[in-house]
Structure 1
Amino acid sequence: MRTSAQILGLPIISIKEGQEIGTVKSLVINPEKGSVDFLTIEHEEWQVSVKAIPFKKVIGIGEYAVTVESERSVIDLNEIPIANQLVNKKIKITDAKVMTRKGELLGAVNEFFTDEENGMVIGMLMKQKENEFVLPSETVLTFGKDILIVTEDAASHFLTNPLHLIHPEEESDESGTISHELREKQIELLQGKVLQKDILDKAGNVLFTEGSVLTEEDIKRAQQEGPGVLVGLSMNVGA
């Protein structure tokens, strides 16, 4: 699972040629499938036409690079009408408003999560007033340019941690709150990991600094801060 921010700007490496062929400029969303279908490429020599890589041609998305088999994976969007149409739809997800089909505004999307194996959008980090929740993509009816239309019961599917998009059965106990066992498991998974970037609180202040080795107290503090901070910890740690 990767956030859009973790993919944007990554170098794209050709395995066959053993060289960088550009960087990820944008993620092209297919609103019908709810997936990332193409990665457009930033390259100083490609100014006239828009180049991209079909997500199905991506070998892997790592911490430091996106890998493809060869430069032949790159396509010219002007030569692929369907791909060009998707680019022109400009579906971005991040910053989109979240609204039920009956017109109730639930909040706005801060970030979204993609399955790095198949490109499917599996969930969104959503802000609702002062709170943050993770919204599973199964609740989305329509991926629009500026608005996501969701089911009427979308709020009942809110999660507190993006890791539960992969393991939803671990989200809560019978009372609907995060269980003690789950909190302990989060501590077990993150304790001793090294942060690879600064983690900010909701006010934009540095909460944990890059290079810090996470302690049990750090993780408990992140749990108290909310899912946004826990997302930062979970997605930006190394061994």
Structure 2
Amino acid sequence: MKKILAVLAVGMISSMAHAATVGSQSYKDNIEVGGSMWIPFGPHADSAGLPGVGVKGVALGQLSKISMRSVRKLTEQNPDYGATDGNNVTVVTPPAHGKVAMGNFNFAQLADSNAEVYYGEWTAHNDTAGATRSVYYVGKDKTANMPTSGTATYAVKGINQYSGNNQLNGTFTADFGKNTLKGSLANNALNVGVDAKINTAAASFNGSATAAGKTGTSQGHFFGNNAGSLAGFAKFDDRKLDTAFGGVKK
């Protein structure tokens, strides 16, 4: 037991050292994202400091995060837990006899070789009303060489109450001279707009969001070389409008 606790302690310390892994979630009552802990064995074995997620009440608790890679690997090794579909969205829905405490995940990984970035949504098992729903993003290799002039356009996709055929699509434009990020993404049922200010020193953005006639907030980070990609979410008083998104520079 002492040996196992020592290994896990080293893993948690190692994960804290990877400051370049950043992310956030709309609510912390059930999940928390950040750098993963080192897990040397088991189905979630992986390195420390990777983009990870912790679910309250699972394993060592909310602050001990497993890598998003290993969550995806769980569906590859156990197809009855879910799968990654043609939109590159990993849908995790544990069966009633499985690890239902981990909840349901819908998340995507950005197709950008310069960074490992994920965005998605989580709900507790059997929460059909979405009262526990949280959206999130997490990635490693936060941009260290942010542009200070010029513009860039990002092809952005989003997840909101994902059902397999309702992925949101849109375009964001960053003006690095004016430090602004603006754009929108939509599907047949929802249009989400983002109007944010870029913080060059933090490689982040924060601002407002709009959807269904409501005003909310937006936040996120840039990842990879020269801000090659971004991820974040829009948050509203109505959790059903909360939308996670990610995009790669065109």
Q: TM-score range by the shorter chain?
A: under 0.3
Which structure has more relative contact order (CA 8 Å, sep 6+)? It is 2
Q: TM-score, length-normalised on structure 2?
A: 0.27
**Which protein has the larger Cα radius of gyration, Structure 1 or Structure 2?**
1
| Greater helix content | 1
